[in-house]
Amino acid sequence: MTLVRSAVTLSDGRELIYFDEKPDSGRAKYQDTRDLPPPPPASQLRYDPLVDEWVAVAAHRQTRTFLPPSDACPLCPTNATFASEIPAPDYDVVVFENQFPSFSYREVPGGEITELTDMVPVKPGLGRCEVVCFTSDHNSSFGALTPARVRTVVDALADRTAEMSELPGVAQVFPFENRGVEIGVTLHHPHGQIYAYPTVPPRTAAMVRAARKHAEKTGGRNLYADVLAAEQAAKVRVISANEHWTAYVPAAARWPFEVQLAPHRQVADLPALTEEERDAFGPLYLDVLRRFDGLFGKPMPYISAWHQAVVGAGRELGYLHLQVFSIRRAADKLKFLAGSESAMGAFVSDVVPEKAAQMLRDVV
C-alpha cells in the first residue's frame, strides 16, 4: 500500500502530517484558523548523580488539556463549531508536533544552564514529541481498527522514526500508546505518541548493557534473538504466532498481563521491516488486543511500547519488539506501583506468567 504524505503548518508553527490511504484527499488545503500562542520553550534535563539518570522538567505540561468533552476534543477533525488540532474535516492517520511537548527544539528560557550544583548539571531537553491519531472516529479504539489501518499506522510510525532519528542529538525514538483512564490518559480519542529522546532512557540503557554482556559471553549472539528462540521452543507462554511474528508472555513478566510481539528476524527499528512483516503485524496484534479486552469482558487499560534500537553506540545490539501490558490484575483490581516498585524499582508480580498466557489463549 502506498500512502500519500502531505505536511502542513499549524498557526503556531508546529508541523502536521497527513498519511492518506487514497490519493487526492485534498486535506492539506485546509488552514488552521486558530489564534494560538507560541509553542513553549524546551524543557530542562537535570542529572541525578545518585542513579546516573537524567530527569526532564517540563512545567508547561501542567496546563495540557485534560479529558475535554467529546464536542471539544482536540484530536477530532475540525468542524463548523470547533477548530481542533487537525484542520481537515476528516483524516485517516495524522501526526503532529505535541502542543505540550516533553522535549523540543524551541528556545530555552534564559539560555543554556550548565549546573545547579557541582553535582547536578543541567541542559536543555532537546528532542521532539509528536501525537499520532489512529482514526478520526472519537469513539473507536486501536483494537477496532482494520488490519489495513494498522498497516497505515505502522508505515506512519516508520516514517517518523526514520525522520526523527536524523534530528541532532536524538538518542532513541520511542512510539507508544496509553489506553484507558486507569493508565492516566488525558484524551479519550484513540491516539499514541512518539518521543525522540535526547538521552538513552533507563530501561533501554539496561537492555543495551545486558545485550552487550550476552554478546561478549556467547561470541556475538543477540540476546533478544536467543530469548525469543527459547520462548518459541518452550511454547508454554506463546499466545499466538504467524509466519513473521510471535506474541508471548515473558517468563519474568513484571505486569499482571504482559505480551511481547517480536519479528522473527533481528531488525533495528520499524523502518527496517519488510512489506510482508508490516502486513503480518496487524492481524496478530489485533488478536492480542482482542484477547486483552476479552479477559474480563471490558476494555483493558494498557500501555503499548515499541522498543527500537538506539540511534548511536549499541545500535547493533537492538532488536525491535512491541511490549503491551496492563495494570489490571483482576476484573475489579488494579496493580498499583507502591513501595517496592516505585521506591526500589523491584517488581513483585501478582499473576504467574504461565497462568496469564493460558488465560489469554483461552479467550475465544
CA distance 303 to 104: 23
- Would residue 337 be called left, alpha or beta, if left means φ above 0 and alpha means ψ between -120 and 50 degrees? beta
Burial class (CB in 10 A: 0-12, 13-18, 19+), 72: exposed
Q: Is 307 a catalytic residue?
A: no
Question: Which member of 191, 244, 307, 321 is catalytic?
Answer: 191
75 CB neighbour count, 10 Å cutoff: 24
Q: Return the closest-CA partner of residue 306 out of 163, 146, 172, 110.
A: 172
Order across the sheet with 120-125: list the strands.
53-57, 43-48, 120-125, 115-117
Which residues have C-beta within 8 Å of that of residue 169, sequence separation ≥ 6?
126, 127, 198
Burial class (CB in 10 A: 0-12, 13-18, 19+), 83: middle
CA distance 161 to 165: 6
CA distance 86 to 20: 14
**What does the block give as the cell for 24?**
487526492
CA distance 258 to 326: 7
Would you please indicate which residues are annotated as catalytic (active-site) residues?
A: 191
